[in-house]
Chain A
Amino acid sequence: MASAENAEHHGPLDQFTIQRYVEIDLGGFDASFTNSSLLMVAAVIVIFLLTTLGMGRGRMVPGRLQSVVEMLYEMVAGMLGDIVGGRAAKRFFPFVFSLFTFLLLGNLLGLIPYSFTFTSHIIVTITFALVVFVGVTILAIIIHKHKFLTFFLPPGVPMWMAPLLVPIEIVSYIARPISLAVRLFANMMAGHSILHVFGGFVFALGFFGFLPFAFIIALYGLEILVAVLQAYVFAILTCLYIRDAIFLHHE
């Protein structure tokens, strides 16, 4: 679009521009270290420090930081236990925990002024969504073999409904990763764009700039909520898809 019109970034979408800090070329593949990579590394470091140093010596009565870590742990464990349950919940726990904390930190670190939100890029969210989608599909095929196809035509449905039902089910199944990816990316991008637009109003309105400024404060609170909520939604839908793969949504 209108990116890179001038050196000074002023458009509401320019904040999403990828900036290459270190050019890295892996045999023709561009693996440059960018602002997006920096925030991903930062998220991993923050999560790692929080879950290791934050736990301290693992005291019986947890302190503040330890409580936060334990709360995160038990939230994800509860989510998986409620939706998937049993031994499968334990097996997928590290993945779902990593996914949730990674997206959560990506969303939250992106709210720090002048930083970057890697979850506001469709390629990042679609990669995650496809990993979940492909992984869940392979899991379902491994568990149920050819019976996996009954996912698209639940037993008990009259045969004449099949031509109608099967395409609908297939479309809804394929729509899963797309909706998963677009939901997160669109929420992040929209929130940051609105913040940017109203930030511009603050200076444009001069004295009356305090009105959009107050709005920005309220919106920022909302964005923190959205950041947590979208990470949660992504994780909980992943749990639901794992459950569908194991139980084929009719048990």
Chain B
Amino acid sequence: MPQLEIPDYGPQVFWLVVTFIVLLILMWSLALPRIASVLERRRKHIEDDLESAAKFKQDAEEAIKSYEASLAEARSKAHQLMAETQAELDRQAAAQRARMDAELAEKQAEAESRIQEARQQALSSVRQVAAEAARAATERLIGVEPSQASANAAVESKG
């Protein structure tokens, strides 16, 4: 069994100690600090990125908040404006309606008075015509022409 060859132990232990010490020194002084710094840099980079991402997120949230606030303000302003306009229009419409109502009432009254007048006139002329007709008929029937007044009276009494 080659593992039990005592004379072979010397070279193995010697080279084991030499190579392992060389490896230890290389790792200690060169390789491991470099790997550690790379890992540390990456960790820091990721941390920074996460931090700035959180900051950006916060900024975005603030922007959204202010946007919503201004939106709400604009909406309420628009509502107010709309209400004001509505009120103004209502007021104008009411005024116009009142004016037109008055005008119409006036015109109606005028027209009514005119109709009354015309009717009066028509009525009086009808009487006159009736009286004339009565006088003419009487003259034709009895040959006597009644006086204007008696004819009028006769028309009145029948009317």
Q: Which residues of A contact B (CB under 8 A)?
A: 1, 3, 13-14, 16-18, 20, 24, 26, 29-34, 36-37, 40-41, 43-44, 47-48, 51-52, 55, 58, 60, 69-70, 73-74, 93-95, 97-98, 101-102, 118, 120-124, 127-128, 185, 189
CB distance from A116 to the nearest CB of B (A): 11
B3→A36 contact, CB < 8 A = no
Tell yes or no: B22 within 8 A of A by CB: yes
A241 shortest CB reach to chain B, Å: 18
A60: chain B residues at CB < 8 Å are 41-42, 45
A36 to B13, alpha carbons, bound, how many Å? Answer: 10
User: Which of B26-34, B62-70, B93-101, B108-116 lies at the interface with chain A?
Assistant: B26-34
Contact (A124, B32) CB under 8 Å given A55-B38, A94-B27? no
Taking a contact as CB atoms closer than 8 A, the residue among A13, A33, A44, A58 that contacts B2 in the complex is A13
Determine the distance from Cα of A44 to Cα of B16 in the docked complex, in whole angstroms: 11
Indicate whether A44 sits within 8 Å of B3 (C-beta atoms), given known contacts A51-B31, A55-B34.
Answer: no
Please report the number of residue pairs spanning A and B whose Cβ atoms sit closer than 8 angstroms: 129
Number of interface residues of B (CB under 8 A): 36
Question: Of B2, B26, B27, B38, which is within 8 A of A18 by CB?
Answer: B2
Q: A43-B19, A98-B20, A118-B12 are in contact. List 5 more A-B contacts (CB 8 A).
A: A34-B11, A40-B20, A41-B19, A122-B4, A123-B8
**Residue B141 CB within 8 A of the other chain:** no
Cβ of A14 and Cβ of B2 under 8 Å apart? yes
Which residues of the partner chain B approach A44 to less than 8 Å between Cβ atoms? 19-20, 22-23, 26
- By a CB distance below 8 angstroms, the chain B residues around A97 are 27, 32
Query: Closest chain B residue to A48 by CB distance?
Result: B26
Binding site for A on B (CB under 8 A): 1-5, 7-17, 19-20, 22-24, 26-28, 30-32, 34-39, 41-42, 45
Taking CB atoms, residues of chain A closer than 8 Å to B10 are 29-31
Across the two chains, which residue of chain B brings its CB closest to A1?
B1
Q: Is the CB of A122 within 8 A of B23?
A: no
Q: Complex: how many Å from CA A33 to CA B8?
A: 11
